[in-house]
C-alpha cells in the first residue's frame, strides 16, 4: 500500500506525527517540556525516597493517637458481629491465608483490593504467629498510615516547589536572547520523544509480544509496510522497524524493573 507511489501510508503517518511534534516543540520550547516531563517524575521519586524518613520524624507526635484509633476500630468491628465471626479480638493463626483475607475484608477493604494487598502483607501477618490481631496489628497500621500521610505531604510540598521553580525557569526562557534557542531545542526534544515512543511501541508489538496470536494481523501489516517502505523514496518507517535497537533496549529496561 503506497501513497502516490513514493511512500507507504506508515511513512506518511510517521512524517505527519513528526510535523505535529515539531509544532508542539516549537510552541512549548525546551524548558516547558523538560519541566513537565521531569517535574512529576522528580516529585514522585523523591516523595517515595523520603516518606519513610519523614514518617519516622512525625511518629512521636501521631503514632500513639493512630494506634489508639486503630485499636478502637478493631474493638468496634468485633463488637458488631457474632462471637464466632470475631476476627480481631480472638487468638488466631495468622499463617493461615483464610484468616488473613478475612481480616483484610473485615477492615472494610473491597474484595479485589484485599486480594491485591494479600501478596504484600501476608509475610507481615505470618510473623504474628498465633495472636490476637488487636494486640499486634495497630502499630503496623499506624506505620502504614504515617508513611502514606508523609508521602502525600511530600507530594504537595514538592509539587508547589516545582511549580515555583518552573515559573522562574520559564520566565528566563522567555528572554529574547534565550527564546529562539529554547524553541529550536524544544523541537528537537519533541522529535526525540516521538522516536522513543514509536520505537518502544514497535519493539513491544514486533519483539516482546511477537508470539501473541491476536497481534499477528498487526505484526504482518507492519512488516509488510516496512518492506514496501524500503522500496519507496522516503523509507522512514523501514528504518524505524529494521534499526530499532533503541526501542528494544527501552522495553528490556522497563521489563527488567517490572519483574524485580
Average pLDDT of each block of 10 consecutive residues along the chain (260 residues)? Answer: 72 91 83 74 87 91 92 90 87 86 77 55 82 90 90 92 81 78 84 87 85 84 89 86 84 60
Could you tell me which residues are beta bridge partners of residue 131?
92
Q: Measure Cα distances from 24 to 30, 179, 183, 186, 189 in Å.
A: 10, 15, 10, 8, 10
| pTM check: above 0.85 | no
Long-range contacts of the stretch 101-106 (C-beta < 8 A, 24+): 103/133, 103/137, 106/77
How confident is the model at residue 114, as a pLDDT?
53
How confident is the model at residue 253, as a pLDDT?
74
How confident is the model at residue 260, as a pLDDT?
44
How confident is the model at residue 56, as a pLDDT?
92
Amino acid at each position: 500500500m503506497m501513497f502516490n507511489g513514493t511512500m507507504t501510508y506508515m511513512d506518511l503517518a510517521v512524517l505527519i506525527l513528526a510535523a505535529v511534534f515539531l509544532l508542539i516543540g516549537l510552541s512549548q520550547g525546551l524548558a516547558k517540556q523538560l519541566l513537565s516531563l521531569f517535574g512529576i517524575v522528580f516529585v514522585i521519586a523523591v516523595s517515595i525516597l523520603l516518606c519513610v524518613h519523614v514518617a519516622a520524624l512525625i511518629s512521636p507526635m501521631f503514632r500513639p493517637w493512630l494506634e489508639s484509633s486503630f485499636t478502637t476500630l478493631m474493638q468496634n468491628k468485633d463488637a458488631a458481629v457474632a462471637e464466632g465471626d470475631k476476627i480481631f479480638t480472638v487468638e488466631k493463626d495468622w499463617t493461615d491465608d483464610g484468616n488473613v483475607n478475612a481480616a483484610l475484608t473485615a477492615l472494610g477493604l473491597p474484595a479485589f483490593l484485599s486480594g491485591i494487598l494479600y501478596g504484600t502483607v501476608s509475610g507481615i501477618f505470618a510473623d504474628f504467629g498465633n495472636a490476637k490481631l488487636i494486640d499486634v496489628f495497630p502499630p503496623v497500621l499506624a506505620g502504614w498510615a504515617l508513611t502514606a500521610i508523609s508521602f502525600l505531604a511530600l507530594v504537595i510540598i514538592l509539587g508547589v516547589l516545582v511549580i515555583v521553580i518552573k515559573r522562574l525557569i520559564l520566565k528566563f526562557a522567555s528572554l529574547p536572547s534565550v527564546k529562539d534557542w529554547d524553541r529550536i531545542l524544544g523541537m528537537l526534544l519533541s522529535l526525540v520523544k516521538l522516536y522513543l515512543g514509536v520505537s518502544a511501541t514497535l519493539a513491544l508489538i514486533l519483539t516482546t509480544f511477537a508470539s501473541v496470536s491476536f497481534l499477528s494481523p498487526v505484526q504482518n501489516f507492519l512488516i509488510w509496510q516496512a518492506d514496501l517502505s524500503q522500496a519507496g523514496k522516503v523509507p522512514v518507517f523501514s528504518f524505524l522497524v529494521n534499526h530499532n535497537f533503541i526501542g528494544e533496549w527501552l522495553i528490556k529496561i522497563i521489563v527488567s524493573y517490572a519483574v524485580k
